[in-house]
Amino acid sequence: MDFRADSNTKEPLYMFSQSSLTDIILLLLIFFLLTSSFVTNFGIRVNVPQAESSVTTDATQISVAITSEGDFFVDGEQTPRANLSLAIRQAYQNKPNATLVVRADRDARVDDAVSAMNIGRALNMNIVMATERN
């Protein structure tokens, strides 16, 4: 039964309001932007020892990471032990006056870290050993 008069018939809604949908999208965008800034990923997992004091380095640095398995990474690229000096020398040619930052895992062999430092010393580079702050 229709109790409305014929003049009160309503037209169907042709326009879909997207304002609530855009609000949800905006909130999701803000959520993902905020949560993504909390994630830090260095790519190479190295458990460095802790130190009592800290020293900051310049922006021009060459990073050598040494894992507990004895793998070497020069500026994020895996390098065999035999090519370590060549990789550090090439990185030093691309970044003259750069500081050599050695990030050795606490379970890595000391000999691996010393060999990377000897290469840096042969190139007259400043050498810094990366540690975690207490």
Q: How many domains does the chain have?
A: 1
Q: What is the DSSP letter of 112?
A: H
Please give the pLDDT value at position 22. Answer: 83
Whether 1 has a pLDDT exceeding 60, the answer reads no
The reply to whether 75 falls in a domain is: yes
Which amino acid is present at 48? V
The reply to whether 105 falls in a domain is: yes
Give the range of the structural domain holding residue 88, as residue numbers without chain letter.
50-133
Residue 62 has which token pair? 């060459």
With residue 118 as reference, give the H or E element that holds it: helix 110-122
The reply to whether 118 falls in a domain is: yes
pTM here is: 0.56
Whether 132 has a pLDDT exceeding 90, the answer reads no
Here the CATH number for the domain that contains residue 85 is 3.30.420.270
The reply to whether 115 falls in a domain is: yes
Please give the pLDDT value at position 54. Answer: 64
Tell me the mean pLDDT in the region 19-32: 85
pLDDT category, 59, cuts 50, 70, 90?
low
Please give the pLDDT value at position 44. Answer: 66
